[in-house]
Amino acid sequence: MVPPESPAATVTTEESPAAHDEDGPRLRLDGVGKQYGDVWGVRDVSLELGTGVLGLLGPNGAGKSTLMRVITTYLEPTEGTLTFDGTDVVASPNAVRERIGYLPQDFGIYPDLTAAEFLSYLAAIRGLDRAHASERIDDLLELTNLQDARDRRLDGFSGGMRQRVGIAQALLTDPDLLVVDEPTVGLDPAERVRFRNVLSSLGEDRIVILSTHIVSDVEATASGVAILADGRLRSHTTPERLLEDVANRVWEVVVPRDDLQSLKAEYHISTTTRRSDGIHARIVATDPPEGAVSVTPTLEEAYLDLLGEANASESGGAP
């Protein structure tokens, strides 16, 4: 959470992610903040988005869920403005709600209903006529690979299948803005890959905001990246630019197991792998240890490096 007196953070925006379709939907946030009592959940967030997938990254408690609830009109911001295709989201929330689909982190179901019954029920609540809803549900069950399970009760669904039902309900009104909050937590690797593929295809003609702390999900799907830390936007750029910022500063070194702790004390280690010849450690550093070999950075290493710089800036120390 952001204390009120926190200084404004420097935001990396040297190369803003391109909007794939200039005629498509546009979402703009200007200085958006949400305060809870004396504490700010998010503050001074400014973004402009077009069609494509935006990966919203940040550690737990960074303010991602608060920002998502503001964008989807569940919360009203304390400060700043949001516009969706020129419409003020705060002043006219009903005008934009039907164009927004939302899959929250904690997605509830009615376990006694089948997938088709559940989606039909939600379609009725959202005002879809029966004929259109039936056709739409058929299309969404096929999109989410649930057509063979349409008549199964939801209490028999796996976690991944429930998440796919969640994305189907978020798409019932064919929204121009789709917001999904931590959608792959707890999914097995195969389910995660399937979910990523669905999100990638959906970003071709709408705005998709994928809020997560799992960097590999962003790496696989996103055309743009926004990074939150302590409730503030630290960077809004492309994955390619984020990787460029850490190029030539990622190394791999092999050390005996007994030397690992001393290496951790001196360097920022992103990953370690145990091998027969010792511990293979990947580190982010300007001056690497002796024997280190330069390696191609991952998006996770670029992300962790940026967070480290942000934390150092907040504490007044050097990165």
Domain residue limits, the chain:
27-243, 245-315
**Each residue of 201-250: pLDDT tens digit?**
999 999 999 998 889 899 999 999 999 999 999 999 999 999 999 999 99
Mark 9-21 as b/e (b = at least 16 C-beta within 10 Å).
bebbeeeebebbe
pLDDT exceeds cutoff 70 at 146: yes
Q: How many CB atoms lie within 10 A of CB 249?
A: 18
3-state secondary structure 186-244: CCCHHHHHHHHHHHHHHCCCCEEEEEECCHHHHHHHCCEEEEEECCEEEEEECHHHHHH
pLDDT at 142: 93
Task: Choose the CATH number for 27-243 among 3.40.50.2000, 2.40.50.100, 3.40.50.300, 3.40.50.920.
Answer: 3.40.50.300
pLDDT exceeds cutoff 90 at 12: no
pLDDT exceeds cutoff 50 at 6: no
Range from 19-23, 47-51, 242-246 carrying the lowest mean pLDDT? 19-23
pLDDT at 22: 64
pLDDT exceeds cutoff 50 at 275: yes
Is residue 236 within 8 A of residue 223, CB to CB? The reply is no
| Interacting residues of 287 by C-beta distance below 8 A, sequence separation 6+ | none
Is residue 45 within 8 A of residue 67, CB to CB? The reply is yes
Find tokens 């920002």 and name the residue.
67
Q: Say what the pTM is.
A: 0.85
pLDDT exceeds cutoff 50 at 319: no
Beta-bridge partner residues of 79: 33
